[in-house]
């Protein structure tokens, strides 16, 4: 190892970055403590059981727990790969070849070696960014192409990336200094700006970003549902389903942003008053991205009424009408 004079480059994020392709996805969230990777491998193949691993990465952990994990291939794929001129140096001694009766002429170094190798792939692809990554990354069935998209997003500052702890250049917020648009204007707001508008905090802040907002009229928010959500620990083990009440809560939070973006209620607190016409159309699971569409029906001095619906892949998964009581922010009841 040779010491160098230049400072090591680190990249982090201030707000979530999410990329997906089909049923594969990768999410990067802020993590000031370093790099943590959670990966779910699911090939829907009896020879490759579903595996999940969540692990904090440093040099020692990488060398001991990740680097030894070998690549793997199905026996039925070997001939096609060799025909294409790939894997010429691969054999059962350095590659895990899975046949109908299990691994051929080899044995596992780890019980979950397959998912460890996918984490190794992900780390290698992220270093296309030519920097050490500081983030909490959740990947579901991602491959090289999707991992490279995430690396590109880090380079481009897609999540308000940080370089050596300093925020990357970003567009200026609205001139009113609130981070939210003037009435009648449409804009997008990030996680930091949402935190300035709503009182909710992790793990109960259920909106990652707002991609469209018109004060007192409508808003569209995004919630990336990951396998690391705390509620999945008990709802339900082995069959994770996002609680319907939390989907409605996410819609209510987007509604609250609509209300507090207007001048009249920017200093008010919005409390749920009633829910009507609540319907749940299909389950929401890890890897889904909720699109939260909310429209104001009526806004008065002390109450408000909105209609919202949550979608996944263009299909409605939940809908509700929500009414709020609007009280001065310094009132607790």
> Domains along the chain?
10-69+109-167 (3.30.1700.10), 186-328 (3.10.129.10)
Round to whole Å and give the CA distance between 305 and 308: 10
Higher confidence at residue 105 or residue 79?
105
Whether 3 shows a pLDDT value over 80: the answer reads: no
Whether residue 189 has pLDDT greater than 60: yes
| Mean pLDDT for the stretch of residues 180-200 | 72
pLDDT of residue 59: 93
Confidence of residue 177 (pLDDT cuts 50, 70, 90): very low
CB 308 within 8 A of CB 251: yes
Give the pLDDT band (50/70/90) at residue 157. Answer: low
Which of 117, 144, 200, 305 is labelled catalytic? 144
Q: What is the mean pLDDT of residues 284-302?
A: 92
Structure letter (DSSP) for residue 92 = T
3-state secondary structure at position 183: coil
Poorest-pLDDT segment among 18-27, 70-79, 290-299: 18-27
Tokens of 293: 């569409």
Range among 149-158, 170-179, 233-242 with highest mean pLDDT value:
233-242
**Would you call 10 helix, strand, or coil by DSSP?**
strand
pTM (two decimals): 0.51
- Three-class DSSP category at 82: helix
Please state the rounded mean pLDDT for residues 154-163. 56
Q: Pairing state of beta strands 10-12 and 132-134?
A: parallel
Per-residue pLDDT tens digits for 40-87: 998 878 888 889 999 999 999 999 999 999 999 888 887 777 777 777
pLDDT band at 186 (very low <50, low <70, confident <90, very high): low
Phi-psi region of 87 (alpha: psi -120 to 50; beta: other; left: phi over 0): left
DSSP state of 165: T
Residue 117 designated active-site? no
Q: How far is CA 15 from the centre of its chain?
A: 10
For residue 92, name the pLDDT band (cuts at 50, 70, 90).
low
Instruction: Find the mean pLDDT for residues 202-217.
Output: 88
Q: Among 177-181, 204-208, 302-306, which range has the highest average pLDDT?
A: 302-306
Q: pLDDT higher for 67 or 90? A: 67
Mean pLDDT taken over the chain: 84
| Rounded alpha-carbon distances, angstroms, from residue 308 to 71, 97, 305 | 46, 50, 10
What pLDDT is recorded for position 321? 97
144 annotated active-site: yes
Higher per-residue pLDDT: 78 or 205: 205
52, 117, 200, 235: which is the annotated catalytic residue?
Answer: 235
Residues whose CB is less than 8 angstroms from the CB of residue 70 and which lie 6 or more positions away in sequence, other chains included: 94, 95, 96, 109, 113, 117
E strand intervals along the chain = 10-12, 17-21, 24-29, 35-41, 51-57, 72-74, 96-99, 102-103, 132-134, 136-140, 162-163, 166-167, 186-189, 209-214, 218-224, 268-280, 289-299, 303-312, 315-328
């Amino acid at each position: 190892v040779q010491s160098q004079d230049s400072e090591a480059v680190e990249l982090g994020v201030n707000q979530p970055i999410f990329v997906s392709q089909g049923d594969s996805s990768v999410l990067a969230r802020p993590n000031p403590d370093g790099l943590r990777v959670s990966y779910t491998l699911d090939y829907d193949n009896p020879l490759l059981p579903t595996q999940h691993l969540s692990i904090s990465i440093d040099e020692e952990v990488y060398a001991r727990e990740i680097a030894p994990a070998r690549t793997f291939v199905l026996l039925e794929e070997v001939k096609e790969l060799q025909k294409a001129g790939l894997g010429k140096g691969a054999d059962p001694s350095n590659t895990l070849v899975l046949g109908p009766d299990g691994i051929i002429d080899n044995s596992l170094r780890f019980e979950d070696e397959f998912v460890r190798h996918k984490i190794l792939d992900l780390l290698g692809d992220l270093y296309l960014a030519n920097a050490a990554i500081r983030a909490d990354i959740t990947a579901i069935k991602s491959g090289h192409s999707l991992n490279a998209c995430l690396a590109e997003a880090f380079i481009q500052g897609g999540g308000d990336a940080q370089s050596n702890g300093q925020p990357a250049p970003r567009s200026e917020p609205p001139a009113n200094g609130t981070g939210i648009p003037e009435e009648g204007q449409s804009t997008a707001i990030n996680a930091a700006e949402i935190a300035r508008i709503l009182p909710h905090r992790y793990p109960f802040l259920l909106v990652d970003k707002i991609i469209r907002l018109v004060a007192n009229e409508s808003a569209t928010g995004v919630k990336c549902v990951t396998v690391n959500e705390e509620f999945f620990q008990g709802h339900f083990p082995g069959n994770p389903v996002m609680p319907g009440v939390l989907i409605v809560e996410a819609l209510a939070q987007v509604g609250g942003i609509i209300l507090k973006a207007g001048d009249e209620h920017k200093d008010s607190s919005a409390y749920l008053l009633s829910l009507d016409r609540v319907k749940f159309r299909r389950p929401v699971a890890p890897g889904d991205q909720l699109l939260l569409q909310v429209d104001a029906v009526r806004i008065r001095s002390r109450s408000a009424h909105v209609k919202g619906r949550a979608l996944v892949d263009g299909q409605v998964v939940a809908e509700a009408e929500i009414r709020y009581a609007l009280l001065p922010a310094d009132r607790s009841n």
